Amino acid sequence: MEAVSRKYSRKYTGWRLFWNTIIARAYPRIVGQQREVSWLVFDLIMPILGVVAYVFVYRALNAPEEYIGFVVMGGAMTAFWMNILWSMSSQLYWEKEQGNLALYIMAPNSMMAILLGMALGGMLATALRAIVVTLIGVWLFGVSFTVTNYVQLILVFMLAMVALYGMGMMMASAFLLFGREAWHMANLAQEPIFLASGFYFPIKSLPFWVAAGASIIPLTLGMDAMRQLIFPTGFKFGFLTVHLEITILAVLCVVFIVTAKVLLGHIEKIAIREGRITESRR
């Protein structure tokens, strides 16, 4: 009994609790994706059709060959945006509908760790989708990549992901506060983000202030910088310099993560103090 008591009475705190929460919430999604292999097929095949369509349009218009590479990269990066939109931003609302949100709030772990675990659990399908789209683009359309600076490329990608996931946690809180409108907001945000962020074309093509406003989305500057670093003539289509975009992405990381922490704390206070989640008393 004493050995059993020691084994099951261990209480994690601090970073150990945070890390174990991430693992615990990521595990069901990883296992679930292995059990539903058909989901992976749809996640891999359907996005490729959109990429192929854009490639044919650009070739019919005799667009510069770099645009083909831009489309392939954009098609790969959409996987990360969809993961954020559906595995993070709308997640708290879904958990509330299923009756799990109250358990998350009562638990001693961090809501940020729970959301991060859910998103990272979906990273398996996200990474597979991005890799498959890239490989098929290279194979079908002869896209070639020439990295000019690996350090900057890795830094841009990491900063873009951190800022993007911070934005996802912030949006999760906002969606939950809006109540039943969360599902409609998620659907509404999907296509405009594809357009404003320049997933399939350089954002330099947009009016300056439109592109500047779209830069609040981390993937906008992240893809713009990566295109400049991956394609030999990518700098011609760049909206800002790579160094400036790295600086802005670092600022966005801090802003989104701090804002997400504040909003999640606000939700917990409402739930504990008033016994409700949304701002309205419907």
pLDDT value at residue 24: 81
* The predicted structure's pLDDT at residue 252: 93
pLDDT score of 36: 64
Q: How many CA atoms lie within 13 A of 243 on its CB side?
A: 0
* pLDDT at residue 282, rounded to an integer: 45
What are the average pLDDT values for consecutive 10-residue runs of the chain, which has 282 residues?
53 77 80 67 72 86 84 84 73 74 76 80 76 83 83 91 85 72 70 82 86 88 90 83 92 91 79 61 46
Total Cβ atoms within 10 A of residue 232: 11
pLDDT for residue 159: 92
Question: What residue segments make up the domains of the chain, in order of their start?
Answer: 14-274
Q: What sign does the CA torsion over 202, 126, 244, 189 have?
A: positive
pTM, entire model: 0.81
Predicted pLDDT of residue 251: 94
- Give pLDDT, residue 164: 86
Taking the C-alpha atoms of residue 148 and residue 181, their distance in angstroms, rounded to an integer, is 44
Residues 6 or more apart from 46 whose CB is under 8 A from it?
none
pLDDT at 255: 93
What is the predicted pLDDT for the residue at 1?
A: 47
